[in-house]
């Protein structure tokens, strides 16, 4: 959340009192109670409406009705609030006075700034912004940005959701006019143009038309060719030992003479390709586990197409987690399984663990969650895109296609981090003419997947909109599941700068389970914080275990109490797995042909290549 902060003086206008969590997410970004979930199919909806909504989505991506309703709600309440209008007029006048005073004093010396960027705002970190006239551009923009934050976030009577959406939409609009985004008002671009005599724009044009050509041909971004699945990434040796219409199950070859008796099953999210956890050999979590003596199995999800439109959330549970466990039980018989889930895969794994506990199924030994939420009450800025209007709009888009396209999903995440993912890229690559070298994580990020219609609709409604899992309304096989039925030890990881699963939301696993929970807070974001191999520079983490009968500690208090440790949390997880595992023994065979799980092909399999 990037709003400016006025220097504190008695005469300044009141600042916004918006409260923020440690991930930079507004504390008010909480779930709204929804209307009853719509039926999966609504045959009475006119086809022309669906076609129009799908067409509009391709133009703007967001429901215009949702945006218009938010603006009208705000404007209507502001129109009948003369006192608030007067405050905003006074604030605008005060900011204009401060800016005029700063501009005049700038000619005579070096006055203090009248407004400062927030600590998490890195847009103006370059020292060139301290020079005249660029400092004036910066101050004018930040003051304008702050005034709009005050205007859109603190009008009484506006619904909670709209008071969260409007500041976000306003920031997206204001970002268009940021002085960073124009050649004549960005000091880096001006200096580069003078030094290179405009050659930077020639290089930028080459980059632009090259990217345009790749987009038209659906080719990967420049530099991604260095990272080829099965050749430079996803190279840990293994075999596909099971396949159905939704998953391939990979069993990795042992790297030690003896292994822990309990195998490890990793359930990645199907919004991503699995090999984020098996990138280059030096930062592969899979390779790290195998090298420590674990027998590792990985689910590789199929990239769905229009023919998979009717796959639902329970299909992912049954064809994914439960079928994988069945195969593992055949390959490694009479052993419980350490199960680990990443992001959405962690949510699915938790549901599976709760359903298994309900049914007396004791095949799991432990549960590990990487940046995974079970309570979506405060799920961060993604909630800004979730309301009945937006979901209905999105459902019409998916109903026509059969899935949510990867480019549509990418657009949502780009809006959440518009400076990092959009504007800074435009400046760096098209104005300065620089190509940022891709690393393996960036190349993986460009290898996105689709989401089937039915599953994604159910997920958005049951989790984000209604929060059914946390509130005990989520059912598996027609019967409700309860998270507090889980009695397995849990290892949960949150990341400090996570905009997808904010760590205070991940931390809520403590509130919903009555078992031992070891919680780790690591540096980094949703992806980089998880791909945090030993030896990675600058990594640190905090860790503590809460027993099932221990008293609860609030997330902010927990962070203050727990000391920071240098290094990778992977080593702490390995120590935890070792503690909950038996004595090492001989490695199991690859697959179990007699039980119907013959080796099908080498890792990484076929599904990972489906585009």
In this prediction, residue 381 has a pLDDT band, given cuts at 50, 70 and 90, of confident
Please indicate whether residue 41 or residue 521 has the higher confidence score (pLDDT): 521
For residue 220, pLDDT beyond 90? no
Do 164 and 306 belong together in one domain? no
Do 26 and 157 belong together in one domain? yes
Do 263 and 151 belong together in one domain? no
Cβ neighbours for 199, distance < 8 A, ≥ 6 positions apart: 433
Residue 234 and residue 256: Cα distance in Å, rounded? 19
Q: Given CA atoms 580, 583, 587, 589 in this order, what sign does their dihedral have? A: negative
Instruction: Check residue 43 and give its pLDDT.
Output: 52
- Domain end, chosen from 138, 153, 173, is at 173
Q: Which of 29, 113, 114, 343 is catalytic?
A: 343
Q: Quick one: average pLDDT of 350-371? A: 97
Q: How many percent of the chain have pLDDT more than 70?
A: 88
pTM above 0.75, yes or no: yes
Which tokens is 610 given?
A: 């489906």
Please indicate whether residue 116 or residue 155 has the higher confidence score (pLDDT): 155
Q: Quick one: average pLDDT of 11-27? A: 37
Is residue 12 assigned to a domain? yes
Residue 475 and residue 456: Cα distance in Å, rounded? 16
Is residue 264 assigned to a domain? yes
- Domain end, chosen from 124, 146, 173, is at 173
| Nearest one of 463, 524, 518 to 498, comparing CA atoms | 524
For residue 6, pLDDT beyond 60? no
| Nearest one of 563, 540, 551 to 517, comparing CA atoms | 551
Instruction: Check residue 56 and give its pLDDT.
Output: 73
Tell me the pLDDT tens digit for each residue of 70-94: 899 999 999 999 999 999 999 999 9
For residue 222, pLDDT beyond 50? yes
Is residue 81 assigned to a domain? yes
The domain tally of the chain equals 2
Is residue 595 assigned to a domain? yes
Is residue 286 assigned to a domain? yes
Do 139 and 259 belong together in one domain? no
- Residue pair 501/379 in contact (Cβ under 8 Å)? The answer is yes
- Domain end, chosen from 136, 153, 173, is at 173
In this prediction, residue 473 has a pLDDT band, given cuts at 50, 70 and 90, of very high
For residue 577, pLDDT beyond 60? yes
Is residue 462 assigned to a domain? no
Is residue 303 assigned to a domain? yes
Residue 562 and residue 574: Cα distance in Å, rounded? 20
Do 152 and 292 belong together in one domain? no
Do 137 and 262 belong together in one domain? no
Instruction: Check residue 342 and give its pLDDT.
Output: 97
Is residue 56 assigned to a domain? no
Do 246 and 161 belong together in one domain? no
Instruction: Check residue 66 and give its pLDDT.
Output: 84
Do 267 and 126 belong together in one domain? no
Query: Using H for helix, E for strand and C for coil, what is the string for 366-417?
Result: EEEEECCCCCCCCCHHHHHHCCHHHHHHHHHHHHHHCEECHHHHHHHHHHHC
Its domain, for residue 126, covers 5-30+61-173
Q: Please confirm, yes or no, whether 107 is among the known catalytic residues.
A: no
Q: Report CA-CA distances (Å) from 307 to 47, 166, 403, 405, 451.
A: 20, 37, 9, 14, 12
- Residue pair 452/309 in contact (Cβ under 8 Å)? The answer is yes
Least confident of 43-52, 530-539, 573-582: 43-52
Instruction: Check residue 58 and give its pLDDT.
Output: 65
CATH code: domain of residue 244 = 3.40.50.1820
Q: Quick one: average pLDDT of 232-261? A: 97
For residue 189, pLDDT beyond 50? yes
Instruction: Check residue 483 and give its pLDDT.
Output: 96
Tell me the pLDDT tens digit for each residue of 416-433: 666 666 788 889 899 999
Least confident of 221-235, 272-286, 309-323: 221-235
Cβ neighbours for 230, distance < 8 A, ≥ 6 positions apart: 603, 604
DSSP characters over 418-450: HIIIIIHHIIIIIIS-PPPPP-HHHHHHTS---
Do 273 and 348 belong together in one domain? yes
Do 164 and 296 belong together in one domain? no
For residue 11, pLDDT beyond 50? no
Torsion of CA 264, 572, 511, 525, to 10 degrees: -90
Do 169 and 262 belong together in one domain? no
Q: Given CA atoms 113, 117, 118, 124 in this order, what sign does their dihedral have? A: negative
Do 142 and 243 belong together in one domain? no
Q: Quick one: average pLDDT of 349-353? A: 98
């Amino acid at each position: 959340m990037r709003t400016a902060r006025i220097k504190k003086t008695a005469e300044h206008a009141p600042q916004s009192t918006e409260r923020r969590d440690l991930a930079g997410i507004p504390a008010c970004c909480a779930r709204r109670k929804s209307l009853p979930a719509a039926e999966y199919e609504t045959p009475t909806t006119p086809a022309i409406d669906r076609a129009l909504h799908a067409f509009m989505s391709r133009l703007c991506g967001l429901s215009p009705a949702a945006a218009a309703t938010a603006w009208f709600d705000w404007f209507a309440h502001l129109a009948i609030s003369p006192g608030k209008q007067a405050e905003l007029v006074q604030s605008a006048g005060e900011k204009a006075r401060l800016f005029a005073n700063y501009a005049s004093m700038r000619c005579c010396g070096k006055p203090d700034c009248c407004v400062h960027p927030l600590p998490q705002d890195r847009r103006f970190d370059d020292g060139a912004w301290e020079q005249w006239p660029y400092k004036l551009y910066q101050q004018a923009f930040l003051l304008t940005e702050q005034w709009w934050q005050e205007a859109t976030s603190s009008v009484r009577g506006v619904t909670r959701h709209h008071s969260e959406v409007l500041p976000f939409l306003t920031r997206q609009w204001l970002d268009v006019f940021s002085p960073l985004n124009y050649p004549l008002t960005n000091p880096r671009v001006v200096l580069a143009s003078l030094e290179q005599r405009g050659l930077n724009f020639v290089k930028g044009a080459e980059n632009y038309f090259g990217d345009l050509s790749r987009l038209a041909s659906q080719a990967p971004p420049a530099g991604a060719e260095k990272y080829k699945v099965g050749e430079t990434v996803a190279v840990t040796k293994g075999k596909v030992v099971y396949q159905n219409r939704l998953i391939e199950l990979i069993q990795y070859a042992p790297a030690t003479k003896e292994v822990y008796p309990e195998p490890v099953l990793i359930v990645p999210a199907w919004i991503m390709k699995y090999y984020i956890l098996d990138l280059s050999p030096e930062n592969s979590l899979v390779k790290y586990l195998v090298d420590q003596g674990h027998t590792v199995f990985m689910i590789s999800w199929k990239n769905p197409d229009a023919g998979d439109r009717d796959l639902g959330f329970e299909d992912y549970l049954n064809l994914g987690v439960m079928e994988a466990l069945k195969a593992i039980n055949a390959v490694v018989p009479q052993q419980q399984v350490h199960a680990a889930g990443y992001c959405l895969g962690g949510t699915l794994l938790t549901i599976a663990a709760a359903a298994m506990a309900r049914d007396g199924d004791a095949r799991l030994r432990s549960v590990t969650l990487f940046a995974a939420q079970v309570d979506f009450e405060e799920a961060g800025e993604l909630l800004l895109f979730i309301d009945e209007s937006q979901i209905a709009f999105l459902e019409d888009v998916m109903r026509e296609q059969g899935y949510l396209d990867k480019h549509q999903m990418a657009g949502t995440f780009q809006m959440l981090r518009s400076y990092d993912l959009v504007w800074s890229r435009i400046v760096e690559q098209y104005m300065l003419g620089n190509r940022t070298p891709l690393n393996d994580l960036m190349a993986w990020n460009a290898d996105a997947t689709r989401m089937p219609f039915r599953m994604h609709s159910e997920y958005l409604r049951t989790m984000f909109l209604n929060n059914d899992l946390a509130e005990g309304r989520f059912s598996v096989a027609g019967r409700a599941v309860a998270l507090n039925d889980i009695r397995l030890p849990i290892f949960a990881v949150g990341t400090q700068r996570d905009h997808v699963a904010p760590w205070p939301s991940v931390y809520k696993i403590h509130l919903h389970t009555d078992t031992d929970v070891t919680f780790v807070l690591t540096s980094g974001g949703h992806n980089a914080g998880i791909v945090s191999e030993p030896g990675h520079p600058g990594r640190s983490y905090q860790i503590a275990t809460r027993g099932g009968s221990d008293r609860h500690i609030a997330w902010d208090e927990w962070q203050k109490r727990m000391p920071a440790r240098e290094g990778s949390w992977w080593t702490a997880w390995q120590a935890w797995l070792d503690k909950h595992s038996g004595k090492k023994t001989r490695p199991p065979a690859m697959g179990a042909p007699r039980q119907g799980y013959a080796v099908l092909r080498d890792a990484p399999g076929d599904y990972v290549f489906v585009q």
